[in-house]
Amino acid sequence: MITIQYLEPAPETASLQPDEVILKLQQALDRLPFTHLLIGWEIPERILEACKKFTEQYAIKFLRWHPLLTYNQEPIDPALRVINLYNQPISGFQNLPEFTFFCPNHPEARERILANLSVQIQTGLYDGFFLDRIRYPSPSTDPYRYLGCFCLSCQEIARDFNLDFVNVRSELLQAEHKAQFLPSFLRYLAAAQPHHPAVQPLPEFQRFMRFRSQSITAILKEVIAEIKGKNLEVGLDAFSPSLAYMVGQNLDEITPLADWTKVMSYAHTMGPAGIPYELSQLAQFIKQSTLWDEREILTALSHAFDLEIPDMFEKLIRAGLSPSSLAKEVERAVQRSPKPILAGIELVEIPGVATLDNIQIEQDLQAVKAVHPDGIAISWDLWHIPLERLELFRRIWS
């Protein structure tokens, strides 16, 4: 199984011509026989139709790349957004609407999420759905200010889990910006069952984190039932295993729900979901809240996330993860999931976000191949992938 994502919304997408869009697809297919085309959202009708026709001609599956918890025709009403510890709606990464999230528990937000999806199911255009943004906003920039959701709907539902937000708040506010709580805080942020024992117990926070992941699982169950009811395929776009729990994804619970899951093990991406980006954001936060040096900070992160990472900030940002560390991430997902796992490998060239080189790509692919994922998700947008990287991939993978 090889999937290709294509045409994420961008200012230039609206002016693209069907001919140039199909030409790139044809050039990609000539180099690499992919099985699924995951087509972007909000793209012009004429382009959507041309791509659909192309996939029919070559018996390629045509799935909608659907941003489940961020998709809205207009900016999301602050009242329906994920709310933080201080009762403020959480704004998206760089204030972008495509990174601004609905609360998964707010009844009106749920209605909107299901209605948005239902419209797309009814077009009859798609063989299935590739669900992206199935999570909370990443709290990595400031895990106190960007952690949610604390809204009234969540508070009410949490009561059914015997979880009282008054206790969660007071525990978190007591621990806020205090170095002695940080190792425990990071470990509960990273995992339901931390790899290392926590020194300072934060039981309410630990239960809150569990409640968050149960909320994501619950909305996914509902949404996937809708899609499956129409006999359509469902793939999931999940964070890399070590980072998934931080955004509310429990891979043990969500991977069995779908036909397959892609894990975004982006080892060299300095943007949302990229492992060096998310970890370096957390590292900066810790630097501002403690007197720890770089090595102490990265050691704490490495312990919390159970991940081998470089020991210098600069190295983490410039070089990213090693091939063996990347392969360990993919292997974790493969071992935990009863359903197929696709390794999401970044092949895009986007200055300032992903700058790759052929030697690194080759080493990464060899390492990932050795842990036997069920397929590969060429990531994350063919439009930004140099064609020779598809040839390189094919040579290594076959």
Stretch that binds Zn ion, among 51-59, 62-70, 102-110, 331-339 (CB under 5 A): 102-110
Which whole-number Å values give the CA distances from 88 to 80, 124, 135, 137, 145, in the listed order?
11, 39, 18, 13, 9
In this complex, which beta carbon is closest to Zn ion, that of residue 165 or of residue 277? 165
In this complex, which beta carbon is closest to Zn ion, that of residue 1 or of residue 152? 152
User: 244, 242, 243, 239: which is closest to 263 by C-alpha?
Assistant: 239
In this complex, which beta carbon is closest to Zn ion, that of residue 151 or of residue 264? 151
Q: Annotate 23-64 with three-state secondary structure.
A: HHHHHHHHHCCCCEEEECCCCCHHHHHHHHHHHHHCCCEEEE
102 DSSP 8-state letter: B
Longest Cα pair distance anywhere in the chain, in angstroms? Answer: 61
Shortest distance (Å) from residue 110 CB to Zn ion? 10
334 contacts Zn ion (rule: CB under 5 A): no
76 contacts Zn ion (rule: CB under 5 A): no
Q: Can you tell me which of 48, 154, 244, 304 binds Zn ion, judged by CB under 5 A? A: 154
Degrees, nearest 5: CA angle 237-105-124: 50
Shortest distance (Å) from residue 256 CB to Zn ion? 25
Stretch that binds Zn ion, among 101-109, 165-173, 253-261, 263-271 (CB under 5 A): 101-109
103 contacts Zn ion (rule: CB under 5 A): yes
105 contacts Zn ion (rule: CB under 5 A): yes
Which whole-number Å values give the CA distances from 157 to 74, 83, 118, 166, in the listed order?
27, 15, 25, 14
Q: Are 340 and 1 in contact (CB under 8 A)?
A: yes
In this complex, which beta carbon is closest to Zn ion, that of residue 83 or of residue 190? 83
Site string for Zn ion, 349-388 (x = CB under 5 A): ----------------------------------------
Stretch that binds Zn ion, among 28-36, 146-154, 197-205, 308-316 (CB under 5 A): 146-154
Q: Are 222 and 118 in contact (CB under 8 A)?
A: no
Helix 203-229 to helix 165-175 angle (10° resolution) is: 120
Q: Can you tell me which of 151, 220, 282, 298 binds Zn ion, judged by CB under 5 A? A: 151
158 contacts Zn ion (rule: CB under 5 A): no
Q: How far is 66 from 110, CA to CA, in rounded Å?
A: 15
* Site residues, Zn ion (CB under 5 A): 103, 105, 149, 151, 154
